[in-house]
Structure 1
Amino acid sequence: MPDVVVTLGAGSIGVPTGALKLGHFAAERWVSNESKDPVGLAELFVGGEGLRRGAEPVLATLLHEAAHGVAHVSGIKDTIRQGRYHNTRFKLLGEELGLTITQAPTIGWSSTELAPGTAIGYGEAIEALATAIVAFRNSEDAVPVGPTGGGKGGTAAGGRSGGRSRRPKNGLVLVCKCSPGRRIRASAGVFERGPIVCGVCRGDFSDVSAA
Structure 2
Amino acid sequence: MTESDTITGLLVTALEQAWAAIRSHHPEVPDVVLTVGAGSTGTDLTLGHFASYRWVRGEYEMHELFVGGEGLQRGAADVLGTLLHEAAHGLAVARDIKDTSRQGRWHNERYRELGEELGLTLTQHPKVGWSLTTMPADTRTRYRDQLHELTDALVAYRRHEPDRRSGRKSNNNGLAAQCQCGRKIRVSRTTYDVGQIICGCCRTTFTSSD
- TM-score with structure 1 length normalisation? 0.68
Q: Which residue of 1 aligns with 2:134?
A: 113
Among candidates 183, 197, 201, match of residue 201 of structure 1? 197
8 A Cα contact 1:107 1:160, kept in partner: no
Query: CA offset at residue 134 of structure 1?
Result: 1.5
Q: Which residue of 1 aligns with 2:24?
A: none
Give the whole-Å Cα distance in 1 for the aligned partners of 2:45 and 2:136: 23
Alignment of 1:136-155 (within 5 A): 136-141=157-162, 152-154=175-177
Query: Could you report, residue by residue, the CA deviation over 1:118-151 in whole angstroms, capped at 9, with x for unpaired residues?
Result: 1111001111111121110011239xxxxxxxx9
Give the whole-Å Cα distance in 2 for the aligned partners of 1:152 and 1:202: 15
Q: Secondary structure at the match of 2:45?
A: coil
Q: Which residue of 2 aligns with 1:159?
A: 181
Query: CA offset at residue 204 of structure 1?
Result: 6.4
Q: Which residue of 2 aligns with 1:179?
A: none
Change (3 A) 1:41 1:157: farther
8 A Cα contact 1:86 1:110, kept in partner: yes
Give the whole-Å Cα distance in 2 for the aligned partners of 1:120 and 1:205: 23
Unaligned runs of 5+ in 1: 143-150, 162-173, 176-181, 185-198, 207-211
Give the whole-Å Cα distance in 1 for the aligned partners of 2:87 and 2:175: 30
Give the whole-Å Cα distance in 2 for the aligned partners of 1:204 and 1:6: 30
Give the whole-Å Cα distance in 2 for the aligned partners of 1:204 and 1:82: 27
Give the whole-Å Cα distance in 1 for the aligned partners of 2:201 and 2:130: 18
Q: Secondary structure at the match of 1:98?
A: coil
8 A Cα contact 2:179 2:199, kept in partner: no
Unaligned runs of 5+ in 2: 1-28, 164-173, 189-194, 203-210
Query: CA offset at residue 92 of structure 1?
Result: 0.9
Give the percent of matched residue pairs that are identical in Structure 1 and Structure 2.
Answer: 51
Q: Secondary structure at the match of 1:117?
A: helix
Among candidates 145, 151, 168, match of residue 124 of structure 1? 145
Q: Which residue of 2 aligns with 1:6?
A: 34
Q: Please tell me the residue identity of whatever aligns with 2:39.
A: G
Give the whole-Å Cα distance in 1 for the aligned partners of 2:110 and 2:180: 19
Q: Which residue of 2 aligns with 1:26?
A: 51
Query: CA offset at residue 152 of structure 1?
Result: 4.5
8 A Cα contact 1:141 1:152, kept in partner: no
Give the whole-Å Cα distance in 2 for the aligned partners of 1:116 and 1:10: 30
Among candidates 59, 66, 70, match of residue 36 of structure 1? 59
| Structure 1 residue 69 corresponds to structure 2 residue 90 | yes
Change (3 A) 1:183 1:137: closer
Give the whole-Å Cα distance in 1 for the aligned partners of 2:162 and 2:176: 7
Q: Note the aligned Cα RMSD (angstroms).
A: 2.7
Higher helix share: 2
Query: Could you report, residue by residue, the CA deviation over 1:61-118 in whole angstroms, capped at 9, with x for unpaired residues?
Result: 0000000000000011100112110001101111111111111111110001112321
